[in-house]
């Protein structure tokens, strides 16, 4: 008789984003055409399969590529609806895991990297999700409920809640300091872009630091940097448009890799310890449930 | 230091190889943002027409003034007051020359009726005609107008829609107008940005479809609540209710909106009518702000059915509906403008190919060039170079104020949030003097058929960056060239006189209904030239955004020296065919009795 293996948390995350995508499409046509889904998903999966085979000699679990593909489908809104930008975004997302590494760990959440890079480099051709969940508060509640339950199940709820709390406090303070009405400053949290951000990006187990307390500190720093970007935008500081459009994405793209780099640098050399961060899996015993062959390139 | 194992070295080498296409992809992303996607420059080198700003020379001195509203919504007033510049074309005095009517939107500022003096100049006769002073407290401010001979007396009458009461002005004698609104049963407070004349039941009398933006119980000067905004940026349904008035004859109209099933509350900004499914009955196409477009198919004049023609899948910010035969298929396709702003939002304009009869849907074929015209407003199809295919003129730009700071960052905070939070205008960040997609140049798209479109605006002389709203097309000098008139918000209009290169031929049709309404609004004409090309146009009772084109239909026919056939489908259902009509002239056609 063999012991029952804990469920790989990525299955839950994949299930959640699938739920989000299906609900978003059926109710709000948010995908913008099934061709986008096919291209983004296909690109991510094919790129992951090819690169993992090429670099590691075997094809890794493609679940994280699936999550990246769905995230890009939802988030990326190209000029003219052209499809090649989904190819570009999908390739950049997955390839970043194999190229931008330190001690065999990638530093950026793949989707976050692709979105941030495209917004910085090609804002004339790319924007990010602007659709709302309609005006239906029930949809908001469903997404939040499922998101919070799954975040709790995969032990990343502290990250989501830390970010939400910091966002509210920091941006509330910013509104007070700048004499602006509070509602517009905290309202973005009710939109789908932020829900994707707090449930799928900032909680990525492969690109956060290991220690649970430091994870919360890093997330708080992300929120603080985002607030600083927003404050600069409030003041009319001439920033690249990417900072005004996606301050959360850019804040994570700046803070996340630095924190991860420091964390890796402080950790024992590869081979001396598991690279999977502690605290993000149901238990220490569960961590190895992520197939070792997946290596560090198997996150969304 | 421990040297890497052969496996590690191989893996590192392969990662380095992956880095080549990775950084190449990053470089490509940067490259595409430097190069416009317009790969058509070579083809567009000679558009074969020039548009010259001859506004001043034409004697058009009109300046639009935006309204001011209740101070309770002062924080969003630049946004709420950003509409009202309109232009409509009609030969109101029956002299065979197209005249122009511009609306104003501030109390005390008159509308203008420019009479065509046949020499390239115009004279404002609005005051003497009695169509000037329509912007007064208590009645509202003008947002646009449409012309149509509602009583079939042979003279074009004028409907002015407002943020306020509708006004129907009967053309008494070709020089004077009388307000017959109350007698017609049209005295209705509506916050409207659009209206079209359409004989939906083919009884020979023009009916009236009026779109509503803000709810009709809202008086923007005396607000009882600041909860007046849309409750969603994508799926709002809390706008004003559109109204269909049936022309009963005898100068009377009746509200048949609910009976006919066309009372959309989706913040409609524009409407146009044509027989999209070729069943002989005029349908109604709506461009809705904060929501999907809507197509109401006419069921034999007895009821309209909201069609699921693939439109519900794309929720954007529809501003304008232009109809034109994009690929010379003998079909009327649809162009709906939307919003695009670098980095923030690519809603993309829709160029919807009419394949209703084959697939039951429209097919969006907008390429990136034509999809992104900035914050686009009015648009019209017209053959500006007489080569036999349509060009597309798009006016754009929303609010031009501070040149260095804009509202987009503020907009991004609320547009992505749950819309119900911002139904209250008081919740919105203050606009102040910020721009919002300001100073955008108009686009002039040259058709290259299946190869797509090229923006030739600068090349043909369209360089203004005014806040364009309405676009109307008319041959103002009866010379076979389609001129362009653009009404700009809070600014002067622009009259672009068109100079097509010589060599191409043309034909214009001036239709006069007999059994149909005298204006022939709704008549659809298909011409077939010797090279087998078909072109279809419709006499519009309002099209684009807050605009109406010349009722005469202009067809360029390129180098063809003959038009084989002209098929006219009159609104009455009568079909008429002309064989080998004369070209390079205006042909007058009377509907057979």
Q: What secondary structure does DSSP assign to A194-247, as a single string?
A: HHHIIIIITT-TTSS-SSHHHHHHHHHHHHHHHHHHHHHHHTT----HHHHH-H
B residues 150-189 closer than 8 Å to A (CB)? none
Distance (Å, whole) CA B288 – CA B292: 6
pLDDT single digits (tens) A156-184: 999 999 999 999 999 999 999 988 889 99
Question: How confident is the model at residue A139, as a pLDDT?
Answer: 76
Please check whether residue B259 touches A, CB under 8 A.
Answer: no
Question: How confident is the model at residue A292, as a pLDDT?
Answer: 32
pLDDT single digits (tens) A28-39: 778 888 899 999
Chain A residues closer than 8 Å to B18 by CB = 51, 54-55, 95, 98-99
Confidence of residue A281 (pLDDT cuts 50, 70, 90): very low
Chain A residues closer than 8 Å to B348 by CB = 79-81
Cβ neighbours around B477 below 10 Å, total: 16
Confidence of residue A269 (pLDDT cuts 50, 70, 90): low
> CB-CB: which of A79, A81, A135 is closest to B235?
A135
Distance (Å, whole) CA B272 – CA B524: 13
Please check whether residue B127 touches A, CB under 8 A.
Answer: no
Chain A residues closer than 8 Å to B405 by CB = 236
The residue ranges of chain B whose pLDDT is under 50 are 37-42
A residues 24-53 closer than 8 Å to B (CB)? 28-29, 32-33, 51
**Arithmetic mean of pLDDT, A143-167:** 91
> CB-CB: which of B28, B344, B417 is closest to A132?
B417
**Arithmetic mean of pLDDT, A64-69:** 94
pLDDT single digits (tens) A5-19: 666 777 888 888 888
Confidence of residue A274 (pLDDT cuts 50, 70, 90): very low
Q: Across chain A, what does the average pLDDT equal?
A: 84
Please check whether residue A245 touches B, CB under 8 A.
Answer: yes
The pTM assigned to this predicted structure is 0.92
Please check whether residue A72 touches B, CB under 8 A.
Answer: no
Question: How confident is the model at residue B189, as a pLDDT?
Answer: 98
Of the listed ranges A210-224, A278-292, B477-491, the least confidently predicted one is A278-292
Question: How confident is the model at residue A15, as a pLDDT?
Answer: 86
Closest residue, chain B, to A85 (C-alpha): B29
**Arithmetic mean of pLDDT, A48-76:** 94
Task: Choose, out of B231, B363, B418, B435, the residue to mutate when testing the contact with A (most A CBs < 10 Å).
Answer: B418
Distance from CA of A7 to the nearest CA of B (A): 30
Question: How confident is the model at residue B44, as a pLDDT?
Answer: 62
Distance from CA of B10 to the nearest CA of A (A): 8
- Determine whether the interchain pair B427/A193 forms a contact, defined as Cβ–Cβ distance below 8 Å: no
Question: How confident is the model at residue A137, as a pLDDT?
Answer: 75
- Determine whether the interchain pair A122/B340 forms a contact, defined as Cβ–Cβ distance below 8 Å: no
Cα atoms found within 13 Å of the Cα of residue B492, Cβ hemisphere only? 13
Question: How confident is the model at residue A206, as a pLDDT?
Answer: 83
> CB-CB: which of B11, B32, B405 is closest to A122?
B32
For residue B371, what are the contacts with CB-CB under 8 A and spacing of at least 6? A79, A80, A81, B340, B346, B348, B349, B350, B351
Question: How confident is the model at residue A297, as a pLDDT?
Answer: 35
Q: Classify B178 as helix, strand or coil.
A: strand
Question: How confident is the model at residue A31, as a pLDDT?
Answer: 82
> CB-CB: which of B23, B343, B404 is closest to A242?
B343
CA dihedral B21, B25, B26, B28 (to 10 degrees): 130
Chains A, B: CB pairs < 8 Å: 184
Extract the tokens encoding A249.
């994405």
- Looking at the DSSP assignment, which residues form a beta bridge with residue B589? B511
């Amino acid at each position: 008789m063999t012991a029952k293996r804990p469920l790989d948390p990525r299955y839950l995350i994949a299930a959640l984003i699938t739920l989000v995508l299906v609900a978003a499409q059926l109710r709000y046509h948010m995908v913008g055409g099934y061709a986008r889904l096919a291209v983004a998903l296909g690109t991510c999966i094919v790129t992951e399969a090819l690169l993992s085979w090429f670099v590691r000699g075997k094809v890794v679990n493609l679940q994280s590529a699936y999550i990246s593909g769905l995230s890009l489908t939802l988030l990326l809104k190209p000029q003219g609806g052209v499809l090649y930008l989904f190819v570009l975004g999908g390739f950049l997302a997955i390839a970043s895991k194999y190229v931008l590494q330190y001690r065999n760990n990638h530093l950026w959440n793949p989707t976050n990297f692709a979105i941030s890079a495209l917004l910085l480099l090609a804002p004339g051709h790319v924007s990010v999700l602007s659709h709302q969940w309609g005006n239906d508060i029930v949809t908001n509640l469903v997404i939040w409920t499922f998101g919070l339950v799954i975040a709790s199940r995969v032990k990343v709820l502290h990250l989501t809640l830390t970010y939400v709390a910091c966002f509210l406090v920091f941006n509330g303070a910013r509104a007070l300091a700048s004499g602006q009405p509070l509602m517009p400053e905290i309202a973005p949290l009710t939109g789908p872009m932020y829900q994707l951000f707090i449930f799928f990006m900032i909680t990525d187990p492969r690109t956060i630091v290991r220690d649970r307390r430091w994870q919360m500190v890093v997330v708080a720093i992300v929120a603080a940097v985002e607030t600083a970007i927003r404050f600069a935008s409030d003041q009319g500081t001439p920033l690249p448009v990417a900072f005004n459009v996606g301050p959360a994405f850019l804040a994570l793209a700046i803070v996340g890799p630095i924190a991860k780099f420091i964390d890796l640098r402080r950790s024992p050399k590869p081979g001396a310890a598991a690279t999977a961060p502690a605290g993000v899996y149901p238990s220490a015993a569960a961590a190895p449930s992520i197939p070792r062959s997946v290596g560090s390139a198997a996150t969304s | 230091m421990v040297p890497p194992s052969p496996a590690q070295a191989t893996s590192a080498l392969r990662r380095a190889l992956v880095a080549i296409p990775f950084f190449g992809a990053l470089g490509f992303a940067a490259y595409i943002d430097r190069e416009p996607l317009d790969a058509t420059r070579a083809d567009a080198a000679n558009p074969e027409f020039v548009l010259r700003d001859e506004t001043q020379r034409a004697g058009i001195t009109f300046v639009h003034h935006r309204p001011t509203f209740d101070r309770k919504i002062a924080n969003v007033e630049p946004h709420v007051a950003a509409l009202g510049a309109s232009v409509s074309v009609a030969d109101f005095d029956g002299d065979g020359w197209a005249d122009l009517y511009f609306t104003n939107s501030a109390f005390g500022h008159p509308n203008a009726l420019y009479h065509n003096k046949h020499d390239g100049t115009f004279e404002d006769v609005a005051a003497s005609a009695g169509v000037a002073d329509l912007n007064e407290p208590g009645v509202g401010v003008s947002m646009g107008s449409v012309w149509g001979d509602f009583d079939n007396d042979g003279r074009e009458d004028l409907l002015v829609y407002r943020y306020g009461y509708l006004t129907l002005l009967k053309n008494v004698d070709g020089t004077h107008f009388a307000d017959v609104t109350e007698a017609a049963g049209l005295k209705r407070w509506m916050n409207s940005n659009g209206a079209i004349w359409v004989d939906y039941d083919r009884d020979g009398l023009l009916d009236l479809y009026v779109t509503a933006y803000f709810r009709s119980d809202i008086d923007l000067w005396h607000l009882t609540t600041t909860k007046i905004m849309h409750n969603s940026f994508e799926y709002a349904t809390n706008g004003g209710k559109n109204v269909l008035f049936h022309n009963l004859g005898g100068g009377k109209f009746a509200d048949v909106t609910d009976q006919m099933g066309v009372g959309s509350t989706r913040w409609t900004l524009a409407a146009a009518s044509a027989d999209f499914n070729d069943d002989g009955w005029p349908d109604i196409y709506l461009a809705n702000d904060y929501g999907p477009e809507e197509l109401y198919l006419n069921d034999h004049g007895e009821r309209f059915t909201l069609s699921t023609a693939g439109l519900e899948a794309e929720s954007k910010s529809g501003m304008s509906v232009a109809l034109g035969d994009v690929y010379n298929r003998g079909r009327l396709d649809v162009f709906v403008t939307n919003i695009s702003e670098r980095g923030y939002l690519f809603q993309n304009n829709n160029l919807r190919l009419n394949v209703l009869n084959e697939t039951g849907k429209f097919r969006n074929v907008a390429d990136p060039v034509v999809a992104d015209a900035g914050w686009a407003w009015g648009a019209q199809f017209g053959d500006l170079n007489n080569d036999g295919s349509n060009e597309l003129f798009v006016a754009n730009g929303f609010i031009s104020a501070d040149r260095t700071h804009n509202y987009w960052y503020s907009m991004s905070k609320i547009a992505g949030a749950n819309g119900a939070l911002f139904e209250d205008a008081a919740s919105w960040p203050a606009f102040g003097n910020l721009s919002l997609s300001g100073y955008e140049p108009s686009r002039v798209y040259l058709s290259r058929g299946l190869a797509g479109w090229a923006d030739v605006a600068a090349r043909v002389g369209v360089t203004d960056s005014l806040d364009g709203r309405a676009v109307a097309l008319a041959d103002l000098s009866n010379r076979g060239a389609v001129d362009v008139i653009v009404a700009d918000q809070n600014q002067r209009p622009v009259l672009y006189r068109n100079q097509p290169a010589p060599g191409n031929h043309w034909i214009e049709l001036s239709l006069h209904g007999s059994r149909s309404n005298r204006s022939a609004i709704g008549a659809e004409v298909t011409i077939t030239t010797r090279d087998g090309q078909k072109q279809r146009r419709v006499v519009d009772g309002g099209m684009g955004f807050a605009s109406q084109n010349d009722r005469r239909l202009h067809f360029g026919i390129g180098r063809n020296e003959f038009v084989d056939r002209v098929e006219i489908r009159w609104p009455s259902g009568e079909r008429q065919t002309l064989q080998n009509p004369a070209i390079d002239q205006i042909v007058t056609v009377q509907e057979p009795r």
